[in-house]
Protein backbone atom coordinates (compact mmCIF):
# COMPACT_ATOMS: atom_id res chain seq x y z
CA UNK A 1 0.00 0.00 0.00
CA UNK A 2 1.26 3.47 -0.83
CA UNK A 3 0.19 6.53 1.19
CA UNK A 4 0.84 10.16 0.30
CA UNK A 5 0.81 12.61 3.20
CA UNK A 6 0.22 16.30 2.49
CA UNK A 7 0.93 19.23 4.80
CA UNK A 8 -0.99 22.10 3.21
CA UNK A 9 0.50 25.53 2.74
CA UNK A 10 0.68 28.21 0.10
CA UNK A 11 4.36 29.09 0.44
CA UNK A 12 5.43 25.48 1.00
CA UNK A 13 3.21 22.44 0.60
CA UNK A 14 4.92 19.44 2.18
CA UNK A 15 4.53 15.97 0.72
CA UNK A 16 5.73 12.60 1.92
CA UNK A 17 5.01 9.26 0.31
CA UNK A 18 5.51 5.96 2.09
CA UNK A 19 5.01 2.38 1.05
CA UNK A 20 3.96 -0.38 3.41
CA UNK A 21 5.21 -3.95 2.91
CA UNK A 22 4.59 -6.67 5.53
CA UNK A 23 3.92 -4.12 8.29
CA UNK A 24 7.10 -2.13 7.59
CA UNK A 25 7.12 1.36 6.13
CA UNK A 26 9.68 2.83 3.80
CA UNK A 27 9.97 6.24 2.17
CA UNK A 28 9.20 6.53 -1.53
CA UNK A 29 9.68 10.28 -1.82
CA UNK A 30 9.30 13.49 0.16
CA UNK A 31 9.82 17.20 -0.33
CA UNK A 32 8.00 20.48 -0.76
CA UNK A 33 6.16 22.28 -3.50
CA UNK A 34 6.99 25.97 -3.16
CA UNK A 35 5.45 29.09 -4.63
CA UNK A 36 7.11 32.51 -4.86
CA UNK A 37 5.90 34.94 -2.20
CA UNK A 38 5.96 37.86 -4.64
CA UNK A 39 3.57 36.18 -7.09
CA UNK A 40 -0.17 36.95 -6.97
CA UNK A 41 -2.14 34.47 -4.87
CA UNK A 42 -4.08 33.21 -7.89
CA UNK A 43 -0.84 32.36 -9.71
CA UNK A 44 0.47 30.57 -6.63
CA UNK A 45 -2.72 28.50 -6.35
CA UNK A 46 -2.50 27.65 -10.06
CA UNK A 47 1.09 26.52 -9.52
CA UNK A 48 0.03 24.21 -6.66
CA UNK A 49 -2.76 22.84 -8.84
CA UNK A 50 -0.41 22.05 -11.72
CA UNK A 51 2.32 20.60 -9.53
CA UNK A 52 -0.14 18.35 -7.67
CA UNK A 53 -1.57 17.14 -10.98
CA UNK A 54 1.97 16.04 -11.87
CA UNK A 55 3.06 14.72 -8.45
CA UNK A 56 0.07 12.58 -7.53
CA UNK A 57 -0.09 10.49 -10.72
CA UNK A 58 3.69 10.02 -10.56
CA UNK A 59 3.52 8.65 -6.99
CA UNK A 60 0.31 6.64 -7.55
CA UNK A 61 -0.88 6.60 -3.92
CA UNK A 62 -3.60 4.22 -2.75
CA UNK A 63 -4.56 6.78 -0.09
CA UNK A 64 -3.89 10.45 0.48
CA UNK A 65 -3.72 11.79 4.02
CA UNK A 66 -4.16 15.51 4.61
CA UNK A 67 -3.68 17.64 7.69
CA UNK A 68 -6.87 19.35 8.79
CA UNK A 69 -6.94 23.10 8.99
CA UNK A 70 -5.55 24.31 12.27
CA UNK A 71 -5.88 27.96 13.30
CA UNK A 72 -2.81 30.16 13.61
CA UNK A 73 -2.84 33.82 12.66
CA UNK A 74 -5.98 34.67 10.68
CA UNK A 75 -4.05 35.79 7.56
CA UNK A 76 -2.03 32.55 7.59
CA UNK A 77 -5.15 30.44 8.10
CA UNK A 78 -6.88 31.98 5.09
CA UNK A 79 -3.91 31.23 2.80
CA UNK A 80 -3.68 27.64 4.08
CA UNK A 81 -7.44 27.25 3.58
CA UNK A 82 -7.08 28.40 -0.02
CA UNK A 83 -4.26 25.90 -0.60
CA UNK A 84 -6.37 23.14 1.00
CA UNK A 85 -9.19 23.99 -1.39
CA UNK A 86 -6.87 23.43 -4.35
CA UNK A 87 -5.63 20.16 -2.83
CA UNK A 88 -9.18 18.91 -2.28
CA UNK A 89 -10.12 19.85 -5.85
CA UNK A 90 -7.15 17.96 -7.33
CA UNK A 91 -7.80 14.91 -5.14
CA UNK A 92 -11.43 14.87 -6.25
CA UNK A 93 -10.47 15.20 -9.91
CA UNK A 94 -7.98 12.33 -9.58
CA UNK A 95 -10.43 10.18 -7.55
CA UNK A 96 -8.00 9.78 -4.64
CA UNK A 97 -9.33 8.31 -1.38
CA UNK A 98 -8.76 10.83 1.40
CA UNK A 99 -8.13 10.69 5.14
CA UNK A 100 -7.77 13.81 7.29
CA UNK A 101 -6.03 14.23 10.64
CA UNK A 102 -5.61 17.12 13.05
CA UNK A 103 -2.10 18.02 14.27
CA UNK A 104 -2.87 16.62 17.76
CA UNK A 105 -4.00 13.32 16.19
CA UNK A 106 -0.70 13.05 14.30
CA UNK A 107 1.31 13.86 17.42
CA UNK A 108 -0.67 11.34 19.47
CA UNK A 109 -0.25 8.60 16.86
CA UNK A 110 3.51 9.02 16.59
CA UNK A 111 4.60 10.01 20.09
CA UNK A 112 1.72 8.99 22.34
CA UNK A 113 1.26 12.63 23.35
CA UNK A 114 -1.09 15.04 21.54
CA UNK A 115 0.94 18.11 22.50
CA UNK A 116 4.36 16.75 21.51
CA UNK A 117 7.00 19.16 20.22
CA UNK A 118 7.79 19.27 16.53
CA UNK A 119 11.24 17.77 17.15
CA UNK A 120 9.71 14.79 18.98
CA UNK A 121 7.47 14.11 15.98
CA UNK A 122 10.44 14.42 13.59
CA UNK A 123 12.42 11.96 15.72
CA UNK A 124 9.52 9.51 15.65
CA UNK A 125 9.36 9.83 11.84
CA UNK A 126 13.12 9.26 11.61
CA UNK A 127 12.93 6.21 13.85
CA UNK A 128 9.89 4.61 12.21
CA UNK A 129 11.18 5.13 8.67
CA UNK A 130 14.77 4.12 9.57
CA UNK A 131 16.19 7.41 8.25
CA UNK A 132 19.81 8.32 8.96
CA UNK A 133 18.85 11.90 9.87
CA UNK A 134 15.81 14.00 10.70
CA UNK A 135 13.73 14.59 7.58
CA UNK A 136 13.95 18.15 6.28
CA UNK A 137 12.44 20.62 5.55
CA UNK A 138 9.84 20.74 8.33
CA UNK A 139 6.90 20.73 5.90
CA UNK A 140 8.12 17.48 4.33
CA UNK A 141 8.72 15.94 7.77
CA UNK A 142 5.17 16.90 8.75
CA UNK A 143 3.83 15.27 5.56
CA UNK A 144 5.70 12.05 6.36
CA UNK A 145 4.22 12.16 9.87
CA UNK A 146 0.73 12.51 8.38
CA UNK A 147 1.38 9.55 6.05
CA UNK A 148 2.61 7.42 8.98
CA UNK A 149 -0.52 8.33 10.96
CA UNK A 150 -2.65 7.21 8.02
CA UNK A 151 -0.69 3.94 7.80
CA UNK A 152 -1.68 3.16 11.38
CA UNK A 153 -5.30 3.89 10.62
CA UNK A 154 -5.17 1.65 7.50
CA UNK A 155 -3.53 -1.11 9.52
CA UNK A 156 -6.32 -0.95 12.09
CA UNK A 157 -9.13 -1.13 9.50
CA UNK A 158 -7.44 -4.00 7.64
CA UNK A 159 -7.32 -6.22 10.72
The residues that are catalytic are 7, 67, 139
DSSP 8-state assignment for residue 95: T
**C-alpha angle 93-95-100 in degrees, rounded to nearest 5:** 100
Neighbouring C-beta atoms of residue 51, cutoff 10 Å = 17
Q: Distance between CA 76 and CA 120 in Å, rounded? A: 24
Contacts of 126 (CB under 8 A, 6+ apart): 133, 134, 135
Contacts of 38 (CB under 8 A, 6+ apart): none
Amino acid sequence: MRILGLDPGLAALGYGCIEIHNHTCQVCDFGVITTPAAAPVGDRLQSLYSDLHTLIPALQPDWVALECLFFYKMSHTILVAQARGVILLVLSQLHCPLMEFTPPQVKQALTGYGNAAKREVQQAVQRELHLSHLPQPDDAADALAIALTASRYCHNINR
